[in-house]
Structure formats: C-alpha cells, structure tokens
Amino acid sequence: MIDGMLKALKVTCQDVYPLISETQDHPLPFFSRMRLKMHLAICELCHIYRKQLEIICKMAQSLGKDDSKAFEETSLKPEVKEKIQKWIAEKT
C-alpha cells in the first residue's frame, strides 16, 4: 500500500503518458488511475497531450459519419455506377 502510494507520487510523463491513451480503452486499475491523476495535477504538458488525443478521438468519430467531408471531392467511378445501375435495372 505504502509502496504504491510512494510510486504514485514519483512519476514522470514517460511513466504515465501511455495511461492517457489507455483511459480511452479500458477502466484503469486503482493505482494507475491515481498516478495519472496526481501527475496531471502538476503537469501542464500531459494536459496538452491529453487534449490532443481527445481532439483526435472526436475527429475520428466525426470522420466515420456518412456526411464526413474527408473525401467530399472523391466519387465512385462512373463506370462502376453504370454497372450497378444496370444490375438494378435487370433485377427490378
């Protein structure tokens, strides 16, 4: 217990920064959560890093939507469209 608490107090960015990413993937175990929390309380850089990952996460979610603008200049090839349209005409 005391060991864990001491460990929690003495951490560098390098020690905890993978945890910032991992919070998006699974609930952190108690001591990891505590180490991260205490580190974030004193480290501006890791705050910035966390914010950056948050932005990436939000952007990725938006990228996945059917109205995403990521490929707005890209279209399915006309010949492929024609082919599909022909199938449809045959089957309906």
Please compute Rg for the chain using Cα positions: 24
Footprint of other proteins on residues 36-75 (CB under 8 A)? 45, 48-49, 51-64, 66-72, 74-75
Q: Is 31 in the site for other proteins (CB under 8 A)?
A: no
Cβ atoms 49, 17 nearer than 8 A:
yes
Q: Coil, strand, or helix at residue 38?
A: helix
User: The tokens of 91 are what?
Assistant: 């089957």
Q: Which residues bind other proteins (CB under 8 A)?
A: 12-15, 17-18, 21-22, 24-26, 45, 48-49, 51-64, 66-72, 74-77, 80-81, 83-85, 87-89, 91-92
